[in-house]
Structure 1
Amino acid sequence: MAEQRTPGSLIVSFYGAYGRDVDGGRVPVAALIRLLAEVGVDAPAVRSAVSRLKRRGFLAAAGSGRGGAYALTADARQTLDDGDRRIYDRPAVKDDGEWTLAVFTVPESERNKRHLLRSRLGRLGFGQAAPGVWIAPAHVGEEARHTLARLELNAYVELFRGTHEGFTPTAAAVARWWDLEGIAALHRQFLEGQEPVLTRLADADPRQAFRDYLLAVDAWRQLPYADPGLPPSLLPDDWPGGVAAEVFGRLHRELRDRGREFVVEQLTA
């Protein structure tokens, strides 16, 4: 998974970080253009991305006025709310040997549901153990149940909870079920881009805090899904995930509220 930084991704990151909480979640397009200009996105790209997000059912028109305004749809708000636990408040990893299994069967006449199921399970952090059998740490189970029901995919899936009893050693099986090397590379990519920001935290005014925080959220928000929080005993000794989470946590604590000051200023300009 490459670093995000597309106009559409940055808009999603903006609504997740600020847009759903400020001014009732209503963001004028003119203000969105000013805000996204701070991270290098020009006005035509913002308008084009807003149109795509509207077609996808992520944004909806919210009131009139020059240039219009947009707010999250109910489904989009639920999606962002669901993501908060992973992105901002990830639970401590339990090394208890418990796993969630998702077993699904989809009729050939509904192949599109099969593709959607695979895609959604992958985005939730499941690894594929066998055809139609996907696995994740036990703590992912609650979110999986809620998400699959919301997407009306629960009729095709059964969820189980249990332990791995063999025959492959669990660490070796985990290395087969997930692309650990690829996930580690994503963590290192995040650290390469975001660790330097730590050196200028003390000097960041609201405008710079907004820039740095939005880019940090955009770089981070997919990582807790690519990496579902596997137990440390099953990961390589030099696993960078813990350091990456600590860096994002510090950026979140020290930049988010300062950046909000700039957002409010732009929304009321």
Structure 2
Amino acid sequence: MSDSPLRPSSLISTVYGAFVRGSGGWISVADLITLMSELGVESQAVRSAISRLKKKGVLEPERRGATGYRLSPAVHPVFDAGDRRIFASLEPADLDDGWAMAVFSVPESERSHRYQLRTRLTWLGFGNIAPGVWLAPGRLLEDARDMLVRLGLSEYVHLFAAADYAAFSDLPEAVSSWWDFPAIQAQYATFTGAYAPVAAKLALQDGIDAAEAFRHYVPMLTEWRRLPYLDPGLPAELLPADWNAVGARQVFQQLHEVLAGPGLRHVQDVTGTAAGGQP
């Protein structure tokens, strides 16, 4: 894991996204507290995190014979987009796919929107090439469009689909100044250092207990799900020769394949649900 403990709200978001969403989208507070206790999170911290997620519009209270919370319908598209980024977009983009360019201008009186745009574009994987000009692989265009509309920021931004880079700098050198490669690689190295030993250990085991799978999978996925956003997935020919994302992705894929299924079974055992079913 990272040096700092994972936030309970992040772990809860992972539990909902990875398990609860496919099992009806609702879980009782009691069952969630049981699951989170297995991750070392105390009940009061769970309740506080639920309150924060409710205020953010992520969770909505709903009673189904017991007090519980379901995912807000408004965040389902966000989780769906996350699935595409986390599980589908694991390979570098193709240089022939072109670029997505975002150009924005925000009045000084609305500079909070400028900060939000910078933050969100960075989170999507855009690099800053000049003031108000941001670039990303072309496959991120639709995600950027959806995000800007969802957050009410589209009126400030022009989105372009660009075919290629024409001139006047060496593109790999320019790209290395638009994205913070050392910071991205440091994040991948931290993940690999924490979870490659887990993957190696599990590879020697004959099966895994469902509860143990859950305890490994939720922190691992919580750590990982930030990385595909920090990494724009640039074409391989533009990346440093020692780019360490490939090894980190292999560790993630191995652990996902081994842990996700048993982890889901454990959640279903605790909650008394089946995929797509109701408690």
Shorter-normalised TM range = over 0.9
2:22 is paired with a residue whose SS is: coil
1:62 is paired with a residue whose SS is: strand
What's 1:172 paired with? 173
Q: Is the 8 A contact 2:99 2:136 kept in 1?
A: yes
What's 2:76 paired with? 77
One-letter amino acid of the structure 2 residue matched with residue 218 of structure 1: T
Q: Is the 8 A contact 1:106 1:113 kept in 2?
A: yes
Q: Is the 8 A contact 2:97 2:139 kept in 1?
A: no
Q: Choose the corresponding residue for 1:258, options 258, 262, 271.
A: 262
Give the CA RMSD over aligned residues.
Answer: 1.8
From the superposition, tell whether residues 91 and 221 of structure 1 become closer, same or farther in structure 2 (CA, over 3 Å). closer
Alignment of 1:214 with 2:218, yes or no, is: yes
Q: Greater shift after overlay, 178-187 or 240-249?
A: 240-249
What's 2:277 paired with? none
Q: Is the 8 A contact 1:97 1:164 kept in 2?
A: no
One-letter amino acid of the structure 1 residue matched with residue 187 of structure 2: L
1:96 is paired with a residue whose SS is: helix
From the superposition, tell whether residues 152 and 139 of structure 1 become closer, same or farther in structure 2 (CA, over 3 Å). same
Kindly state the Cα deviation for residue 130 of structure 1 after the two structures are TM-superposed. Answer: 0.7
One-letter amino acid of the structure 2 residue matched with residue 197 of structure 1: V
What's 1:200 paired with? 202
Kindly state the Cα deviation for residue 168 of structure 1 after the two structures are TM-superposed. Answer: 2.1
What's 1:107 paired with? 107
1:159 is paired with a residue whose SS is: strand
From the superposition, tell whether residues 80 and 220 of structure 1 become closer, same or farther in structure 2 (CA, over 3 Å). same
**Unaligned residue ranges in structure 2 (runs of 5+):** 274-279
Q: Is the 8 A contact 2:20 2:27 kept in 1?
A: yes
Q: Is the 8 A contact 2:90 2:249 kept in 1?
A: no
2:88 is paired with a residue whose SS is: coil
Kindly state the Cα deviation for residue 232 of structure 1 after the two structures are TM-superposed. Answer: 1.2
What's 1:224 paired with? 228
From the superposition, tell whether residues 9 and 195 of structure 1 become closer, same or farther in structure 2 (CA, over 3 Å). same
What's 1:183 paired with? 184
Q: Is the 8 A contact 1:26 1:70 kept in 2?
A: yes
Q: Structure 1: how far apart are the matches of 2:228 and 2:167?
A: 27
What's 2:13 paired with? 12
Count of aligned residue pairs for this structure pair: 267
2:100 is paired with a residue whose SS is: strand
Q: Is the 8 A contact 1:25 1:71 kept in 2?
A: yes
Alignment of 1:137 with 2:141, yes or no, is: no
Kindly state the Cα deviation for residue 3 of structure 1 after the two structures are TM-superposed. Answer: 6.4
Instruction: Report percent identity of matched pairs.
Output: 43
Q: Greater shift after overlay, 72-81 or 122-131?
A: 72-81
Q: Is the 8 A contact 1:7 1:45 kept in 2?
A: yes
What's the TM-score once normalised by structure 2's chain length?
0.91
1:152-192 deviation per Cα after TM superposition (whole angstroms, max 9, x unaligned): 21111111122222222111111111110000010111101
Kindly state the Cα deviation for residue 116 of structure 1 after the two structures are TM-superposed. Answer: 1.3
Q: Is the 8 A contact 2:59 2:71 kept in 1?
A: yes
Alignment of 1:49 with 2:49, yes or no, is: yes
Q: Structure 2: how far apart are the matches of 1:255 and 1:208?
A: 9
Kindly state the Cα deviation for residue 235 of structure 1 after the two structures are TM-superposed. Answer: 1.2
What's the TM-score once normalised by structure 1's chain length?
0.94
